[in-house]
Amino acid sequence: MTSPALNWRSLVSLVLIAGFCGTALVWVNGITAPRIETQRQEQARALMNSLLLPEQRIELKTLESWRGDTLSACTDWWLLRLSENGYAGPIEFLAYWQTFEGDLPSVIKLRVLNHLETPGIGDFIDHERSDYLPDRDNWTLTEWQTADTLSGATITHNALKRVADSLAQYMDSDAQTQFCSDQLSPTKEHAQ
Amino acid sequence: MNTFNRGVLENNPAWAQLLGLCPLLAVSNSVVNALGLALASGFVLLGSNITISLLRHRIPDVARLPCFVLIIATFTTITVMVLEAFAFTLYLRIALFVQIIVTNCMILGRAEAFASRQPVGAAVLDALGTAVGFAIALLILGGVREILGYGTLLREMDLLFGPAASSWVIDLTSTAPLPLALFPPGAFLLAGLLFALVQGLAKFLTPPARDLNAVPAKTIDYEK
């Protein structure tokens, strides 16, 4: 039994159908993209406010923009945007890093901006569906590193651990000093 | 109208063909979620049926399935973008199940079995019938699960219809009668009961086959 082969007419039809689909997508994207961007920014702003203490929220209002993936008033708190690979794709995190005077360890709070984890298994990281992350808002780096992995969602949970590790590496004292000296310098370009 | 009625009742994708059950069971824990998925599925079904019917003489037979999937994926992506732009909170809840409409056998099945062989008018009626049938199943299941799981009906309708719709909620009981209804096991149990009820009703209302063909039109003499 032989199947009919693709001739040039069929190929032209395929190209036209693909072109029609592509054009439709580009057109709809042009209409919806600005609104989607606004919605995502509002969501991120609400999340940032929920992570900060009242006095820190006042400091947040004085800041104009993110520098790369970091936002801070160079006091005792830092907000970072980080991404780690989960089970079904990248997980976009908003991380809060709080330092204290003396030898007290820093506190890490994590929230997820966007993820593709499996509903009912890996979506425990979504604060809208589960209290898993809000319940760990006072955890230190050591507590994140030594946390028991969740059975059935190992890859998702390992992504959380990797984010905590990346955060600690990124937020060493040299990086903080560098960020704050750049922040004070008016000649540097601020990225949104 | 037979084409429309067949999609709603006789060939209902949910209780007659058991298609699209994954999103049906996962999302139908409230009326607003069910309605959101019903609208999204309906739009994709209607758009893909019309497009495939219009292009049925142009789509190469050897590559028809990739073409159908491409067209369905286009309409699904458009739905996701529109939902994210105009109903962001609802999008965050049901986004995954809207994205997997692209693999929904109900939509691919209608494209292959009907829209690719029929004119646009018939394809529209078929899409509307199937979409309405799927929506009825979703809304009944969503309504029952919401009443049992939350003790309310029409809660959080503002996610779809704006702030004015937040007052549409009807509080039926002060405590949830059966919280299990909100979880996957509850969804399976209630969907099974619903489908059994519909099948039972259909059998009760349909006359037996012997009554439909009581007197044979013609006797055949096998000896000859």
pLDDT in tens, A60-116: 777 777 777 788 878 888 888 889 999 988 999 998 888 887 777 888 899 998 888
ipTM of the complex: 0.77
Residues 125-154 of A with CB under 8 A from B: 128
Record: contact B58-A13, CB cut-off 8 A: yes
Distance CA B131, CA B129 (A): 6
Series of mean pLDDT values for 10-residue runs along chain B (224 residues): 75 81 87 92 94 90 89 95 90 85 88 90 92 92 93 89 88 88 90 89 76 64 70
Name the E strands within chain A.
70-71, 77-85, 90-98, 107-114
Residue-range domain boundaries for chain B: 2-144
Q: Which of B170, B145, B144, B166 is nearest to B157 (CA)?
A: B166
Q: What is the pLDDT of residues A140-151, one digit of tens each?
A: 888 888 888 777
Q: Is B65 on the interface with A (CB under 8 A)?
A: no
Q: Answer for the pair B89, B12: CB distance below 8 angstroms, yes or no.
A: no
In this model, does residue A7 exceed pLDDT 90? no
Q: Let me know: does A12 contact B62? Beta carbons within 8 Å.
A: no
Alpha helix segments (H runs only) across B6-119: 21-27, 31-54, 64-86, 88-99, 105-110
Cβ-Cβ contacts under 8 Å, A5 against chain B: 62
Residue of B nearest to A38 (CA): B85
Identify the pLDDT of residue B9: 75
Alpha carbon A130 to its chain centroid, in Å, reads 17
A46: number of Cβ within 10 Å = 10
Residue A192 has pLDDT above 50, yes or no: no
Decide if B81 and A119 are in contact by the 8 Å CB cutoff: no
3-state percent helix, strand, coil for chain B, nearest multiple of 5: 75, 0, 25
3-class state of residue B140 by DSSP: helix
Is some CB atom of chain A closer than 8 A to the CB atom of B84? yes
**DSSP letter for each residue of A34-74:** HHHHHHHHHHHHHHHHHHS-HHHHHHHHH----BTTEE--S
CA distance B104 to B42: 12
